[in-house]
Structures are given as structure tokens and as C-alpha cells.
Chains A and B, each alone.
Chain A
Amino acid sequence: MWRYLDGPHARPFAVLAACIMLLALVDGDNGRFLSAATAYSTLQTFATISLVTLGLGLTMMIREFDLSVVGMYGMAGCIAVLTGTHYPWFGLWFALAVGLIAGIVQGFIIVRLHLASVGVTLGGLLVFIGIAFVLTESRSLPYDNLGVALLLNERVGGIFSIRGIVALVFFAGAAAIFAWTRLGRDIIAIGSDRRAAMTTGVKVDTLIIGIFAFSGLCAALSGVLLSYSLASASPAGLSDVIAPAAAGAILGGVSLGGGSGRPLGIAAGALTLAVLRSGLNAVGAPPFVNDITMGAVLLTVAVLDGPYLARRLIEARRWARRALGA
């Protein structure tokens, strides 16, 4: 049992369970945390951050990093609000197409010119933010289709919303692909040892481009859903996304060194952050407590995940014992 919980794939779920138990303990019998209201609120936060986390997490799995998700998140919202007042579906598809194409272009540049993804996607980030400011003339825009805004957040089945269901469906799809096709193994192989993956016949270049395209798509989709549901778009962004996304991926068992993680783990990581944010809000903790808790949880996971550190600890203990013995 303990060995299973200690495994790298189970850890995100263990951390999630620990956070839920901790918050339930803090709340005691006040009933503020373990309630349908908090569950709904948690899934709403999950809907806001999880898709970006999934896209970013996949790029981290192949040992790359897509910084441009922040820019795409904001720009896609602006594009959808500008083009989708009367035809929300048109705004959505248009923004998704932009996200997909931008991802493909970035992936192509990275693969063909053998460039580091951080540099390329930093360029992408600045370009997207710049375009968003130009498109909106540096103003935040209202989205006048309030019906769409209300519909996206309407409660379904007590704790879900359409926004949340879209995110859950994406995760289910990604998990299924990982479980039943060789795509998942190929992605892990690229992240572990790119050259070895290439020699075993993995289409490395195509997959890298595909993952950046998916990351762009995910960022665009969550940007559009957020903008629609807040009935507004802002070139400066409506919500902070890069810190929760990177933290969610790391909590989800993805390592910055690549070659580890899976979609369900990322879902658990994003859900952990959502539980902390909504749960701490529910028990009335001040905002900085959220940041501190998130940092503490991240640090704990990093320490648990650091084999090098663990080895050093064992060595130190052995050394101390020997010194004491002498």
C-alpha cells in the first residue's frame, strides 16, 4: 500500500488527498469546505487553469517549455470577444484556429532551426501580447452576449459547469490516448532520451510540433472560455495563469527534466491547486496564505521527488553516524 502510494504516478493523487484532508481538518465542523458550493467553486477554478496546465505539462514532458501560453490565453480571449458577439461559435473556432496555427509555427521553428523552446515561445508570448494590445486598442473589451456568459457557468448536476465539463472531457481524452495508444509512450521517450527515441523510430519532429499545436489549442480554448464567462477580454489578461499552470504540472508529476508525468496526474495537480484556492477562500484565509500554501506544497513535492537530495540525506546521516562513532 505505502509502496504504491509512494510511486511516481500515485503521488499527485496522494498530495491531492492530503490537501483535501488538511482543509477539512482546518474547517472542522463549520461545513464551509466539504460542501457542494466549494466543490462547484473548485471545479470552476479547475476549469480556469487546468487546460493550460495540460498543454504546458505536455511540453514539459518532452523536455520543452511553452511560455507563450500566457500570451495565447489573453489574445485568444480578445479575438473571440472581438469576432464572436453575435456568433459565439465563430469566435471560438476562429480563436482556436489561431491557437493551433501559432502552436504549429512555434513547434516548426523549434524543430527546424534546432532552437530552445524557451527562447522561441518567449518570442511568441511577446508577439501575442503585442497583437492583443493592437487588436483591442489597449482597452479592455466588453462582451455583449451575456447569455453565453451565464450559460457557461450554469450549474449542471450540482457541482459542474459547461466550462468545467469541457476541461474534464479534454483530460479524459488525453488520458485515453495515453492509456491505449503508443503516443503516450512516444512522448515519454522523447522527453527521456530524444536520440534514442529517434533511433527506435519515433517521429520526434512531428510529435514536437503536434504537442506545441495542442498546447496552443488548449491555451486558446481556456482563454476563450474564460473571456466568454467573464463577458470581457483584456489584453493584459484576466487571470494569472503561468504560475498555477507550471505549479499544477509539477504537482501532477511532470518534471522539468522531461520524461515523466501523465494526463491524469496533471489533472490531479491542477485539481490540487483548485482545491487549495477555493478551499482557503471558503475557510476565509487571506489571499497571501494561498500563495504560501501553494509554495509549501510545491516545495514538499520537489523535495520528495529529488532522488539526489534523498541520496545526500542518506549520505549525511551515514557520515554523521560515523563521526559520532569515532
Chain B
Amino acid sequence: MTCHHRFHSWLYLMPRHRRGLACAFAMMMMVMMTALPPSHAADESKGKKIAFLQTLATHPYVVATTRSFRTRAEALGMEVTFFTSMLDAALQAQQIDDAIARKFDLVVVVPTSEQGVVPALVRAKQAGVPVVIVNNTPKDGTEELYLSFVGQDQTAMGRLAGGAMLNALKDSGRVGGKVAMITGALQQGIAPRRVAGFREAARANPKVEIVAVEDARWDTATSERIAGQLYARFAASGGLDAVYGMADNQAAAAIRAAEAAGIAVSGKPKQLVVIGGNCLKEGLDAIKAGKMQATITQIPTELGVRAADVINEYFSGKKPPKEVLLPLAMVTKANVAQWEAPCTY
């Protein structure tokens, strides 16, 4: 039973972060930087022993992150050892302690639990082992325990999705509407931050009302069931106007449930608006088919590369920034073609 919750919460390991949006120019710069090979000499990183503590070994997003990190880090001369906690908070804390004891030069952690990881990070700090956090941060107020965070601003991602929802409602000729969120695991981490950002953006239009926030734990089947129940619940009061499926697999599930319930989803006037997240292939397909109006990018291959580069900067004697936030972009029908390759992994 415990497994059930944890296995479906794979996505809460996805990023978050506060702070506003980078401007378009900065985004372009960063995309260009990640595309370029490391410019400075890689000698400082040569032979450095890195422990990379990942959450899962099988999920495509996680695997893509790990693989891209390995390729870049090894090209920079680092020796990387990978550990996986299978989302077991106790095991991950143990792995951090083991890595400290075995005197790795640096430890990279993708936290399994934003709270459970903290005592082990304190011990790493006490032992003088530098830690780089990737993808999702430990709880607020622990920033001095790690060198740098590489990931995405999850609240901003929620805000972008909220903005996309307002635009799509306007495009479909509405002045406001009833909105439902089908979310990832709300227990901790990413999903609560995206909900907060989405709510914040939605407040810009007082005629938009968020009528439901349902925890589907990032799971496709659960999302489909919940979506069906939501359509039935609001059918009597004129139906829903928009659904936010926090990840594209969930948004696609909401579309399938709508079609099964006989609700049209082409985003045309008076039809259901669907917004997704994470730019998965099924999301892009739905955008091309006109059934989904937008998704927000989250690209694991860039994440691994940036993390390796930040570590290389550190070994080269530079002080890496506390937060390295990857650019966010909104994908709509207008620019879907350009995101097809990066979002397929």
C-alpha cells in the first residue's frame, strides 16, 4: 500500500523553485550555453569522484536525466558512481551517509523526500562534503546545506500554466469560467508549488473560479477516473470550462475522459480547454491535434548537462550560483514543431 503511493509519485521528483521568470533573452542564452561543449579546460574535474544519488532507475524522465549527466560528467573526466533509492527516504539518507564515509569529492542528490533528506545533508555539511541538488529542492530554509541547486522553478511553471489557461479561455470566447486541477502528489515537493503558482496566475481574472483541486499522484489511470467524476459532478451546473492536467499524461487522460463523456475538447468557443505540463510526447500530439492548448517545458537532457557543468565550475575554483534555474517555455500550437525533438526522449 505504501508502495502504491510512492510508485505513482514519481513526478514529485520534478523541479520547483521560487523567483520570477527569466526573460526570453536569458532563456535563449541558456539554451545556447547548454548546447555548446564546455569551453574551459576540463582538467580540474579530472579524476574527481562523484556520487550521484537518483530516485528511480526506470522512469524515462529520470533515466534521461541520469544518462545526460553521465555523458557530460565523464566527458569532463569525472568518475561517477550512481546509486538509486527507489523513492525510499531511509535508503537515500543511508546512501548519503555512505557516500560521506567513502570520501567522495562531491555528492549529487535528487531528493526522495524534501524533509527526510535534511539530516543527512547536515551531516554532509559537517563532514565538509559538497552537495549539489538536482531537479527538486529540499525544504525551504535549508539553502546553506548545499552548494547549488540545478533545476526548474516549479511555482513559475504553475504560473505559466495558469497564464496559458487564462489565454485559452479568452481565445475560446469566454470572460471567465470554472477550472479544475488534476494534480501530481500533493504530499510534498513539486505539485503543491505548481498549484500555488497556478492559483496566483488565475487571480488575474476574478471571473475565473478554481472549483476543484484533485490529487491524482501523477498517475494516468487515476487522472482519467478523477476527470470523469469531475465532468459528471459539474455537468448539472453548466460543465467545466478548463482542466489543468499537471503533467501531459494527466492532461491526455482528462481529454480521453472528456471524449468518453461526450464533451468536445477542441478549444473552440464553448468547448473544454485543457492545459498540460512537462512536455511529454503525448502532450505534444494532443496540441497538434488541437485538443490541448498548451504545455510547459521540462527537459531532462538539459538538466543533466547543466548539473555536470555546474560541478565542473566548482572544481575549476569558481563559486557556482546558488540556484541554476533552467529556462521554462510555453508550448502551444504555434511553436509545437520546434519542441518536438527536445520533448521526445
A→B interface (CB under 8 Å): 32, 35, 37-38, 40-41, 44-45, 48, 70-71, 74, 125-126, 129, 138-143, 146, 149-150, 153, 226, 229-232, 234-240, 277-278, 281-282, 284, 286-288
Contacts and interface: CB of A to CB of B under 8 A. Distances in A.
A45 B97 CA distance: 12
Interface string B178-206: 00000000111000000000000000000
The interface residues of chain A, by DSSP majority, are classed as helix
B101 A230 contact: no
A238 B93 CA distance: 11
8 contacts: A32-B102, A44-B97, A71-B1, A138-B187, A230-B89, A231-B115, A236-B187, A238-B88
Contact of B119 (A140, A229, A234, A240): A229
B215 interface: yes
Nearest to B187: A140
Interface of B: 1-3, 5-6, 9, 57, 81-86, 88-91, 93-95, 97-98, 101-102, 113-116, 118-119, 122-123, 139, 186-188, 215
A5 to B, nearest CB: 31
Contacts of B98: 37-38, 41, 278, 281-282
Contact of A281 (B6, B95, B113): B95
Pick the 8 closest A-B CB pairs, nearest first: A232-B115, A37-B101, A237-B2, A239-B90, A236-B5, A230-B116, A149-B119, A287-B84
B139 A142 contact: yes
Given A71-B1, A238-B89, 10 more contacts: A44-B94, A45-B94, A70-B2, A142-B139, A149-B122, A230-B113, A234-B89, A237-B6, A239-B89, A287-B86
From B89, B91, B116, residue with most partner A Cβ within 10 Å: B116
Contacts of A141: 115
Contacts of A284: 81
Contacts of A143: 115
Contacts of B91: 239, 277
A222 to B, nearest CB: 10
A40 B100 CA distance: 12
Contacts, number: 117
A231 B89 contact: no
B337 to A, nearest CB: 38
Contact of A142 (B3, B81, B95, B115): B115
Nearest to A227: B116
B238 to A, nearest CB: 30
A287 B57 contact: yes
Contact of B116 (A126, A238, A240): A238
Nearest to A153: B119
Given A41-B98, A231-B115, A281-B98, A150 B1 contact: no
Contacts of A281: 83, 94-95, 98
Contacts of B115: 140-143, 230-232
Contacts of B2: 70, 74, 129, 236-237, 240
Contact of A238 (B1, B90, B102, B119): B90
Contact of B188 (A70, A125, A140): A140
Contacts of A282: 98, 102
B57 A150 contact: no
B188 A231 contact: no
Contacts of B82: 286
B89 A138 contact: no
A33 B153 CA distance: 40
Contacts of A149: 118-119, 122
Given A138-B215, A142-B139, A239-B89, A231 B186 contact: no
A125 B4 CA distance: 14
Contacts of A41: 94, 97-98, 101
A146 B188 contact: no
Contact of A125 (B1, B81, B84, B215): B1
B113 A70 contact: no
A150 B119 CA distance: 6
A71 B5 CA distance: 13
Contacts of B1: 70-71, 125-126, 129
A75 B119 CA distance: 21
Contacts of B215: 138
Contacts of B118: 142, 146, 149, 231-232
A93 B69 CA distance: 46
A35 B2 CA distance: 33
B57 A146 contact: no
Nearest to B81: A284
B94 A231 contact: no
Nearest to A49: B90
A284 B79 CA distance: 13
Contacts of A237: 2, 5-6
Contacts of A229: 93, 119
B85 to A, nearest CB: 8
A40 B89 contact: no
Contacts of A234: 89, 113, 116, 187-188
A231 B119 contact: yes
A143 B113 CA distance: 13
B56 to A, nearest CB: 9
A13 B176 CA distance: 70
B102 A231 contact: no
Given A74-B2, A125-B1, A146-B119, A230 B94 contact: no
A229 B1 CA distance: 23
Contacts of B83: 281, 287
